[in-house]
Structure 1
């Protein structure tokens, strides 16, 4: 099965051939770790989120995506950042290629006892912030993760700021 491919600042990336996509991402943290999913369409790790449907608001999409992908219910959300670098692209197995603009939200969820893995995911996991860059992340999520780590003041083992 062909996989979706993600691109960020890659000169070898294909040219978009579809209208730009708009999506939301949920930054869900617990005890210094971030919730990520291993995607079925690419075997890559990614933050929780997805596309905004034509009939919903940004926050409705955020609530829906979190519920669909994790079983969790959003109790509050605040805008973390807008990620609109034109080099953020997704190439689908069908040949469609689109540029994506993503609004990332810091999200609080209602208390929970277990995560529910959706059909879109192979696995859900809380990963310590310091270990995020060791995962094979979807390239389109790199700027979001870098911004989060930068905001949290994470440094490399040598004591140098990561970005």
Structure 2
């Protein structure tokens, strides 16, 4: 059974399944995370939704690159969790199925391609408490 984090789904609400891939990216004593600016300014694990027909690993590489400008190597799946949220950018109530990986950032190709994303290298101990959702925090606490 895949654990759920965050609020329970509303019974009267229809949710669209939205699978995604996200990465913990430690390097030495620091971890690369993103800060998404805007209406909901928060720190996040780099990653995001899978495109139709896309496998989790391909989505992971693409999303990390788009949000950080970094390439990654040696991804290892840690697990998955679900959360039920409203995604205002898509006007969508979603059941997010979050596949979590650990990988090594290797090469910075350039700045983030996605607008309103900042790259932050933070000490391992600080990362879990800064992450914006409880599922990301749980995986970061377990691994870091």
TM over 0.5: yes
User: How far, CA to CA, are the matches of 2:51 and 2:72 in structure 1?
Assistant: 18
Return the structure number with greater strand share.
Answer: 2
- Written as runs of structure 1 = structure 2, the 5 A alignment for 1:1-163 is 8-10=5-7, 16-41=13-38, 42-84=40-82, 88-93=83-88, 95-112=91-108, 116-135=111-130, 137-139=131-133, 142-152=134-144
Q: Which has the larger radius of gyration?
A: 1
Unaligned runs of 5+ in 2: none
Unaligned runs of 5+ in 1: 1-7, 153-163
CA gap 1:15/1:107 in 2 versus in 1, 3 angstroms: farther
Secondary structure in 2 matching 1:26? strand
TM-score, with length taken from structure 1: 0.71
CA contact (8 A) 1:15 1:97 kept: no
Range that drifts further, 49-58 or 11-20: 11-20
Aligned length: 139
CA contact (8 A) 2:47 2:64 kept: yes
> RMSD in angstroms over aligned alpha carbons?
2.7
For residues 47-89 of structure 1, the C-alpha deviation after alignment (integer angstroms, 9 at most, x for no partner) is 00000111321111111111111121122211111113xxx12
User: How far, CA to CA, are the matches of 1:81 and 1:61 in structure 2?
Assistant: 16
Secondary structure in 1 matching 2:139? helix
